[in-house]
Amino acid sequence: MKKIFSVSLMFLLIFFISIQVHADKIKIKTVDGVEVIENPKDPAPPKGTLNKIILTQEFSIGEGEYDEDMFAELTSLDVDSDGNIYILDRKEKKVKIFDSAGKFVRKFGRDGQGPGEMNVPITIQVTPDSELVVSDALNQRLMYYSLEGEFIREMSTAAKALGLTLPIVDSQGDMIGQQIVLSEDKVMREVRKYDSELNTLFTITSIDNTNLVQGKINPFQVVIFY
């Protein structure tokens, strides 16, 4: 049975409540020339700061009666400037498009290794040039589509960025991504900046992933967001 994932988009309502900060609740002192402020056990928030958050559901995707409203394995999603939602389903090898109200518009994609076909799609992004780029881990390539789902072109990552994952394209066509690099007896995960032809411009950071590759659990494994 297909496992259904529900994507709930929540509208954030923020209430700002001004609370008077009593001087007797806050201690201010100077230590080695540095002003130190000590709040009580239940600190009083400064005036105008966020005090209460109420989440109200605006609409829900994934609870419909039809296949286009359901997901076998929701992997990645992005939203364009008009609020349209592009959802990548790795198991179905498809991208499903919904409008800003959560109504299904269309879907595209199929399993395979041919032009525009997907094998193990990992991420999807709406680029600054209003294109969709899907990264495929097994086919080792980036595939570009129009916002309507028409295949435009592809770029192999095998030669210059083997194992490239989580690529993000900027307004210049350059990108930031992660790849695995073998260094002597270590397996390193590097975050790099690439140009539009996937030539490495520079390395942002490098993390030892040897234990992870060997199946050892590291509870303090570094997680990178960008």
Note the pLDDT of residue 118: 96
How far apart are the C-alpha atoms of 112 and 157, rounded to whole Å?
Answer: 17
Residue 85 pLDDT more than 80? yes
Note the pLDDT of residue 65: 67
Q: What DSSP assignment string belongs to 10-48? A: EEEEEEE------GGG-EEEEETTEEEEE--SSPPPPTT
Residues 150, 106 share a domain: yes
The HSE-up count of residue 187 (CA atoms within 13 Å, CB side) is: 10
Q: What is the mean pLDDT of residues 191-211?
A: 91
Boundary of a domain, candidates 133, 156, 179: 156
Boundary of a domain, candidates 99, 127, 156: 156
How far apart are the C-alpha atoms of 107 and 97, rounded to whole Å?
Answer: 6
How many structural domains are present in the chain?
A: 2
**Residue 12 in domain:** no
84 versus 184: the higher-pLDDT residue is 84
Residues 172, 151 share a domain: no
- Pick the range with the lowest mean pLDDT from 69-73, 155-159, 164-168, 196-200: 69-73
**Residue 189 in domain:** yes
Pairing status of strand 85-89 against strand 104-108: unpaired
Q: What is the mean pLDDT of residues 136-154?
A: 96
Note the pLDDT of residue 47: 65
Residue 64's pLDDT band (cuts 50, 70, 90): low
Residues 170, 145 share a domain: no
Q: What is the CA radius of gyration of the chain?
A: 23
Question: Containing domain of residue 65, as a range?
Answer: 59-156
**Residue 51 in domain:** no
- Note if the pTM is more than 0.85: no
Residue 96 pLDDT more than 70? yes
Residues 212, 126 share a domain: no
pLDDT more than 90, % of the chain: 50
Note the pLDDT of residue 170: 95
The 3-class SS string of 38-63 reads ECCCCCCCCCCCEEEEEEEEEEEECC
Identify the CATH number of the domain in which residue 148 sits: 2.40.10.500
The DSSP secondary-structure symbol of 111 reads B
**Residue 179 in domain:** yes
**Residue 23 in domain:** no
